[in-house]
Amino acid sequence: MNRHHVDLSVVIPAYNEERRLAHTLTRVASYLRACPLSWEVVVVDDGSADATGDVAAAAARKEPRVRTLRLPVNRGKGRAVREGVLVTTGRQVLVCDADLATPIEELAGLREALADGADAAIGSRAAPGARIEARQVWFRELLGALANVLIRLLVVPGIADTQCGFKLFDGDKARRAFRRCGVDGWGADVEILRVFAEHGWRVREVPVRWAHQPDSKVRPHQYLVTLGEVLRVGLRYQGGGFARTAGVSAVFLALSVVLYVHLWADPWTRYLTDGGQDQNQWEWFFAVTAHNLVNLDNPLFTTLQNHPSGVNLMANTVMLGVSIPLAPLTLALGPSITWAVVLTAGLALTGTAWYVLFARHLVGSWQAAAIGAGFCAFAPPVISHANAHPNLVVLFVIPLIVRRFLLLCRREHVVRDGIVLGLLVSYQVYLGEEALLLAATGLTVFAVAYALLSPESARAAYRPLTAGLALAATTVLALTGAALLFQFSGPQSYASLIHGPAGNDVRALVEHAARSLAGDADVAAGLSMNTTEQNAFFGWPLLVLTVGVVVWLRRRAVVLALAAVIAVSACFSLGPEIVFYGRHTGIPGPWYFLSRLPLFESVVESRFTMVCVPAVGALLAIAADHALAAAASLPRGPVRVLLCLVLAEALLPIAPTPIAAADRPQVPAFFTDGVWRQYVRPGRSVVTAPPPDTVDATPLHWQVAAGLDFPLVEGYFAGPYGPERQGTYGAPPRTTSTLLREARDTGEVPQVTEEHRRAAREDLAFWRADAVVLAPHQRQAVLRATLTALLGPSRQVAGVWLWDVRNIVQPDPARALS
């Protein structure tokens, strides 16, 4: 216990603060002189390279109660604060930033909190009543918010703002706590709060005034450094549980990297070949979102594709939930990096989220939780979509939603859990609505089955669950209502997406996918639409194991409810007519009726096996947990060996192999060198031959390489078609684009008539085109001959054949737009 010499010690860490430290010390000293208490100020010069130490020394000469402590080299804010606190003598210790972003006058509110019994009072910019007088730039706020979510999840739950540089501590407790600390950087704020929590000392957040100050010492890379420090704190103070979670997450990340090893070989030039044209499309989505943010354009709409009609981005699953937060990455390193990061991290985060859910709410063994979570992240249907569909790979919010449902059923914090559920559902809307609809269907089936099996539990959970869902629905409506209205009623919206029957053949449930270790690419291709829609392919050993687990543990209601989810979802996935080993049986499947409901008509029905994945993963976790528990009363070796053999028999055949990737063709210099600017006026479009579509969307990649500075006609997107506004992929075809695609697909020059030439002039007028471009193509001769017949001679410019159509006589605009 320190002998107290003063009532209050103020610790101010300072690094290269010569320009504002004098003003700060003057304000602090002036305020404290007016307070009826004894005080001292300790300025810690953290190895500054400027005159900070001289400024502090000058202040100390004028005011004896100001002391200085100089560190020989810069060690970080955390080290400076720790050294300063340990030399204080005050009954209370205030840690205050040198920029006074929080004014010293806010001390009164913190002192009141300590007088009311708190052991630490921390200034908060997030507590009700806080006032932000000058905000940070948007990307700093975004990074700070993401970091805070991780901090609350991993280290100090319940504290909304750990990083505000204005904290008041009980002096003795502060000195005792800081002696335990070892983080030298910005993560020290988290560590000291964790130490207080470890001792059971009360921490209270107090709303304060705060204003961002220019010349902040927090550089962008510091967010990554601080994240590492937070992980260190979690490992040090949360012990085995956190270490195991971090370890399992690291394994999932390593597996994801191995899965995408061919892509990461050179993500700027590699392309996932099994994904068709989807990588071009998704990179364009990421790029256009970043472009819209920088230019303050509507993030839900653009005319950069399908010019001039445009594209409803909200109706195209652009994943604003990741494309907006990762916009700085896209702008700095390009959308190809964002694409690789989203896919790789998406699998790892999804597996980690399922692991945390299983470990906390389903099983007692971390090994069992890891087995189930690993299946959820790397099951064959997920790996199929890992070729091209990040919206069906980045699924980490789904287990968080499931957990919030479980918490609501416990009736402990209905209001909080209902609002959090609404926030999670809202975020999932901006990640992928189809995954949310599939998850909601699975949860509904589980809830009904569990209620029938355990009516007492259902009665107890009914009221809190109903109230929580009402709160969640209100929250979702507030946060997504405008965006959903734009999606379904805004420009270029559509009613439902046309895709035709897409159910699974029954045989697909027991075969292996092309990317599975035991897979046969030819067999899988014959049972699926394409390599990105191999939505079943669990293999017969896993199905036998799943049935065995259900029979073995049939007395548990949760097991039977999970079995119901698997059975119902698998039946839905069979489509409107049951197909058995290639034979159409004429028997209608349950999907025949479900597909007539709103929203469901746009779902690819074979994807309902995605709902089976977490249910099977949960059954695997439960079975492994029971087996490991049995091993506690039996010889451990034989039981563990048997468990490993059974799991290996079921899971090794479906283990994924690395996803194929190949080098992309080089982008023509016409786009990369900006040559196009000589031929395309602002606001006018480029017509590629043929325009991008589902068969070949490479022009989208060229447009991104050119900085998205010109619009393209038509494209690869979902939009309306015909008077009923049915959803389809691509723009309603015009005469010229149809003619060019005919030449591409048949390899023959079509007969070009005067009517085709007249239609071409109309199409160019409609598209507001200045240039028609033919880049290197395997059918370049055919396409060039077709365009020459339509538009006349061309010239070769910077690696492309160019038709300058600026001077072509435009027809009557009213006719062109008809």
Torsion, Cα of 278, 281, 283, 285 (10° steps) = -130
Mean of pLDDT over the chain? 90
719, 704, 713: which is closest to 279 by C-alpha? 704
Does pLDDT of 147 surpass 70?
no
Q: What is the mean pLDDT of residues 727-734?
A: 92
Confidence band of 236 (pLDDT split at 50, 70, 90): low
What is the per-residue pLDDT across 126-135, written as a single tens digit (0 to 9) for each? Answer: 888 888 877 7
For residue 499 the two structure tokens come to 């895709």
Helix (H) / strand (E) element for 7: namely strand 6-14
Residue 539 structure tokens: 């293999």
The residues, any chain, with a CB within 8 Å of residue 593's CB and separated by 6 or more, are none
pTM, full prediction: 0.74
Asked if omega into 690 is within 30° of 0 (cis), the reply is yes
Residue with tokens 């099996």: 453
d(CA 792, CA 760): 12
Gap between the Cα atoms of 468 and 421, Å rounded: 8
CA 416 to chain centre: 23
* Token digits of residue 348: 């790892």
Q: Quick one: pLDDT band at residue 216, thresholds 50, 70, 90?
A: low
Give the Cα separation of 514 and 531 in Å (integer): 8
d(CA 565, CA 618): 11
Tokens of 371: 């087995």
- Residue 761's contacts (CB-CB under 8 Å, 6 or more residues apart) are 808, 809, 810, 811
- Strands of the 120-124 sheet, one edge to the other: 66-71, 39-46, 6-14, 90-96, 166-170, 120-124, 203-207
Look at 137 and 253; give whichever has higher pLDDT: 253
C-alpha gyration radius of the chain: 31
**Pairwise CA distance, residues 697 & 527, whole Å:** 26
- The rounded distance, in Å, linking the Cα atoms of 26 and 34 is 13
Can you tell me the distance from the alpha carbon of 610 to that of 590, in angstroms, rounded to the nearest whole number?
Answer: 17
For 522-544, write each residue's pLDDT tens digit.
Answer: 999 999 989 999 999 999 999 99
Give the integer Cα–Cα distance in Å for 357 and 225. Answer: 28
CA dist., res. 811 & res. 759, Å (int): 10
C-beta of residue 608 within 8 angstroms of C-beta of residue 595: no
Contacts of 257 (CB under 8 A, 6+ apart): 264, 344
Distance in angstroms (rounded) separating the CA atoms of residues 120 and 688 = 64
Three-class SS of 759-790: HHHHHHHHHCEEEEEECCCCCHHHHHHHHHHH
Q: Work out whether the CA dihedral 218, 223, 228, 229 comes out positive or negative.
A: positive
Q: Element (H or E) spanning 373, and its range?
A: helix 366-378
**Per-residue pLDDT at 291 exceeds 90:** yes
Question: pLDDT-based confidence at 813, cuts 50/70/90?
Answer: very low
> Is the peptide bond between 308 and the residue preceding it cis, with omega within 30 degrees of 0?
yes
pLDDT of the residue at 604: 92
CA 40 vs CA 20, 83, 505: distances in Å: 20, 15, 78
CA 565 to CA 563: how far, in whole Å?
Answer: 5
Record the tokens describing residue 457, joined without a space.
Answer: 């539990």
Residue 512: beta bridge partners? 538
Greatest mean pLDDT among 32-46, 174-188, 643-657: 32-46
Q: How far is CA 348 from the centre of its chain?
A: 11
- Sign of the C-alpha dihedral computed for residues 236, 242, 246 and 251 taken in this order: positive
| Model confidence at 121: pLDDT above 90 | yes
C-alpha to C-alpha distance for 190 and 208, rounded to whole angstroms: 19
d(CA 489, CA 483) in angstroms, rounded, equals 10
Per residue, what are the HEC states of 591-658? HHHHCCCCCHHHCCHHHHHHHHHHHHHHHHHHHHHHHHHHHCCCCHHHHHHHHHHHHHHHHHHHCECC
- What percentage of the chain's residues is helix, strand, coil (to nearest 5)? 55, 15, 35
637-665 pLDDT per residue, tens: 566 677 778 888 899 999 999 999 999 99
pLDDT surpasses 50 at 766 = yes
Is 424 in contact with 397 (CB distance < 8 Å)?
yes
Lowest-pLDDT range of 95-104, 159-168, 710-719:
159-168
Rounded to whole angstroms, the Cα distance separating 18 from 51 reads: 5
* Cα dihedral: 162, 166, 170, 175 (round 10): 80
pLDDT at 152: 65
* Average pLDDT of span 453-469: 92
Residue entry with tokens 């599975």:
516
Q: Provide the pLDDT confidence category of residue 783 given band limits of 50, 70 and 90.
A: very high
The more confident residue out of 311 and 128 is 311
- Per DSSP bridges, beta strands 583-588 and 718-721 are unpaired
Cα separation, 791 vs 632, in Å, equals 81
Query: What pLDDT is attached to residue 413?
Result: 85
Residue type, 309: S
